């Protein structure tokens, strides 16, 4: 992975604890993937284990991989039933053809070399095995988060890197490609909780990159908009995502 693992290592204790955002997506994600009980599943960029723990609860034999030591430590301590490994997704220290399913939740667009990482997933999958990956989706114009997102975009422009998961999967040798849209709706009790949620995952890097005065102003504007949303019907994280699926060649 890129050095983003260092950010996730720092925020591991709060990650997905303020609002169960990634856990909510994991439930919808596994409805799409539908791994059979007993499936051997590897989850890369596992974080605090949103997908890994849900897959284990479905009866899968789960190996969970992350490059952030604190994420690995917390997941291993809380879930001894999962085989948790500290590992770089570009160089998986795992045997060829040993898994039925490979998953990655909101991680493939963060790695340094997506095609190389996907090549590793193809290598560790058995012939006919399934890969399933989520990336953020796009909201329609006029959605309730448009003003908030505009504040974020003005202050902290997102990375211009192109996300082409289907292209990456094809280049890595996967076939039977398809994409499924999913979404979650998670109520948030108040503006401060919503701000703390945003600062407990990858968006924190964009704020940390600001000058101190700019970061203060950015926080003020963000909280003001969240307060407006809260007073105008409540804050709901109604977030879209795309599940990309493929099959390891037989």
Residue 183: per-residue pLDDT: 94
Nearest to 12 by CA among 53, 34, 45: 45
Q: Residue 2: what pLDDT? A: 47
Ranges of the chain with pLDDT below 50: 1-2
Per-residue model confidence (pLDDT) at position 153: 84
- The verdict on residue 196 lying in a domain is no
Distances (CA, A) of 135 to 33, 65, 182, 196, 210: 15, 18, 10, 22, 25
Confidence at residue 140, expressed as pLDDT on a 0 to 100 scale? 82
Q: How many domains does the chain have?
A: 1
70 domain residue, yes or no: yes
Q: Does residue 98 sit within a domain?
A: yes
So what's the pLDDT on residue 3? 58
- Output Rg (C-alpha) for the chain, integer angstroms: 18
**Residue 151 located in a structural domain:** no
| Residue 210 included in any domain | no
Contacts 24+ apart (CB under 8 A), 204-212: 204/7, 204/11, 205/4, 205/7, 206/152, 206/156, 206/158, 207/156, 208/7, 209/156, 210/155, 210/156
What domain range is 86 assigned to? Answer: 4-141+161-187+238-248
Tokens for 237, please give them: 């994280």
What pLDDT is attached to residue 95?
A: 97
> In this structure, what CATH number is given to the domain that contains residue 51?
3.40.50.150
CB 169 within 8 A of CB 232: no
Q: Are 100 and 40 in contact (CB under 8 A)?
A: yes
Of 229, 129, 115, which is closest to residue 166 (Cα–Cα)? 115
Angle between helices 212-231 and 191-198 (to 10 degrees): 130
DSSP three-state, residue 206: helix
Joined together, the tokens standing for residue 145 give: 């988060």
* Confidence (pLDDT) at 158: 61
Q: Rounded to an integer, what distance in angstroms lies between the CA atom of residue 159 and that of residue 100?
A: 33
- Termini Cα distance of the chain: 28
pLDDT at residue 205, rounded to an integer: 83
For residue 231, tell me if it sits in a domain. no
> What per-residue confidence (pLDDT) applies to 195?
94
pLDDT of residue 139: 84
The pTM assigned to this predicted structure is 0.92
**Which tokens in the block code for residue 187?**
């109520």
* 147, part of any domain: no
């Amino acid at each position: 992975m890129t050095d983003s693992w260092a950010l996730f290592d720092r925020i591991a204790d709060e990650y997905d604890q303020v609002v169960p955002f990634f856990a909510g997506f994991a439930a919808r994600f596994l409805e799409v993937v539908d791994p059979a009980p007993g499936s051997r599943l590897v989850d890369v960029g596992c974080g605090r284990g949103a997908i890994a723990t849900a897959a284990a609860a479905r009866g899968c034999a789960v190996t969970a991989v992350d490059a952030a030591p604190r994420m690995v430590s917390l997941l291993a301590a809380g879930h001894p039933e999962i085989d948790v490994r500290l590992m770089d997704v570009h160089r998986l220290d795992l045997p060829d053809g040993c898994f039925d399913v490979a998953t990655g939740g909101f991680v493939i667009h963060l790695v340094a070399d997506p095609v190389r990482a996907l090549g590793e997933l193809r290598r560790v999958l058995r012939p006919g095995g399934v890969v399933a990956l989520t990336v953020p989706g796009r909201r329609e114009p006029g959605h309730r988060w448009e003003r908030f997102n505009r504040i974020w975009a003005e202050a902290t422009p997102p990375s211009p890197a192109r996300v082409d998961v289907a292209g990456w999967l094809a280049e890595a040798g996967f076939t039977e490609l398809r994409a499924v849209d999913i979404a979650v709706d998670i109520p948030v009790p108040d503006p401060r909780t919503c701000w703390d949620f945003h600062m407990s995952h990858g968006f924190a890097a964009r704020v940390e990159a600001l000058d101190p005065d700019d970061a203060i102003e950015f926080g003020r504007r963000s909280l003001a908009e969240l307060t407006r949303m809260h007073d105008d019907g409540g804050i709901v994280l109604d977030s879209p995502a795309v599940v990309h699926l493929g099959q390891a060649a037989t």
